[in-house]
């Protein structure tokens, strides 16, 4: 059996099944959808065990050089608490784990979020707008006005009225212009994905049909 051709045919059939959704919902799409969801769920279970559970927990509790690190029992117990949801009487234990995850997640991301999304942005905006060519000056002004008016738009303690409201309107207008550019850029990337898929169907899959039927070279 030629495994390469089998792979190409499977890829092509699943692609066509998924594209059939463009017409309407149908059994072929449903099959591909369930296959995709089921296989990816199964894949991620194994992926998580192999790449998260074993290296980040099991091997740290029982290191390769021997011994037993009891401290790693603590995350293990928290993991068991999550499974307590299966038993209604002790389901409340899972809240301890969830609280830990949400709290640690919020705490850790707060620092990095603040550093990259606030401090670094402010630092990058403090510069002289009067350097370079006329175009450079214009670009710098757009940047500074865009940042400040954007911040005004996201200021929630004051109603968008009067001068404040007009500044906020400038902010949202600049944001929309940026979104438009981003939209066009991303659509181009999606079109290239579509082209890639069409190329697969036309150049990889289609030539296998005459080969299977014994027609041509």
Partner 1 sequence: MKNFSVFTVFLLLFTVGSSLAESTDLPESVVTEAAEESRVSKVVDLEASDTPEDAGGSVSLTWLMEIDGIVPDSLGVMRSDPSGEEVLITTLPWGTLMYNDQSVANGTEYSYWIVSYLGGNIEAASDRAEAVSSAQWIYRGRIGMLILLSLMAAIIIYYIESGKKGKKLYIREIAGLAAVEDAVGRATEMGKPVLYVPGIADMDDIQTIASIVILGRVARKTAEYGTSLLVPTSRSIVMSVAQEVVKEGYIQAGRPDAYNKENIQYLTDDQFGYAAGVDGIMIREKPAAIFLLGTFYAESLILAETGRSVGAIQIAGTAMPSQIPFFVAACDYTLIGEELFAASAYLSREPKLLGSLKGQDAAKLFFMILIVVGVIAATVGDYWSPLKSVAEFLRRLVTVN
Containing 134, the helix (H) or strand (E) segment is helix 134-153
Q: Does 102 bind partner 1 (CB under 8 A)?
A: yes
- b/e burial code for range 41-79 (CB count within 10 A of at least 16 → b): eeeeeeeeeeeeeeeeeeeeeeeeeeeeeeebeeeeebe
- Supply angle C-alpha 196, 197, 199, rounded to 5: 65
Q: Looking up tokens 């050089």, which residue turns up? A: 65
Q: Does 170 bind partner 1 (CB under 8 A)?
A: no
Q: Which of residues 109-168 bind partner 1 (CB under 8 A)?
A: 109-111, 113-115, 118-120, 122-123, 125-131, 144, 147-148, 151-152, 154-160
- Supply angle C-alpha 76, 77, 80, rounded to 5: 90
For the bound state, the minimum distance from the C-beta of residue 101 to partner 1, rounded and expressed in Å, comes to 5
Q: Looking up tokens 């995709």, which residue turns up? A: 36
Q: Does 52 bind partner 1 (CB under 8 A)?
A: no
Binding residue count for partner 1, defined by CB under 8 A: 69
Residues that bind partner 1 (CB under 8 A): 18, 21, 25, 29-30, 32-34, 36-41, 43-44, 47-48, 82, 85, 94-95, 98, 101-102, 104-106, 108-111, 113-115, 118-120, 122-123, 125-131, 144, 147-148, 151-152, 154-160, 172, 175-176, 178-180, 182-183, 186, 190
């Amino acid at each position: 059996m030629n495994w390469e051709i089998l792979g190409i045919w499977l890829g092509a059939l699943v692609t066509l099944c998924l594209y059939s959704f463009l017409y309407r919902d149908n059994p072929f799409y449903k099959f591909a959808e369930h296959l995709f969801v089921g296989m990816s769920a199964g894949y991620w279970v194994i992926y998580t065990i192999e790449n998260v559970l074993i290296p980040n927990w099991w091997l740290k509790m029982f290191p390769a050089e021997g011994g037993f690190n009891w401290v790693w029992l603590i995350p293990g117990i928290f993991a068991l608490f999550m499974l307590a949801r299966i038993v209604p009487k002790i389901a409340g234990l899972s809240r301890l784990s969830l609280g830990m995850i949400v709290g640690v997640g919020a705490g850790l991301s707060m620092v990095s979020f603040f550093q990259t999304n606030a401090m670094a942005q402010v630092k990058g905006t403090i510069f002289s707008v009067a350097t370079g060519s006329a175009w450079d000056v214009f670009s710098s002004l757009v940047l500074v006005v865009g940042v400040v008016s954007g911040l005004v738009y996201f200021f929630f303690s004051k109603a968008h009225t009067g001068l404040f409201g007009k500044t906020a309107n400038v902010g949202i207008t600049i944001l929309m212009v940026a979104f438009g550019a981003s939209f066009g850029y991303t659509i181009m990337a999606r079109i290239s994905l579509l082209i890639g898929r069409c190329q697969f169907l036309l150049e990889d899959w289609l030539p296998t049909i005459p080969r299977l039927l014994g027609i041509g070279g």
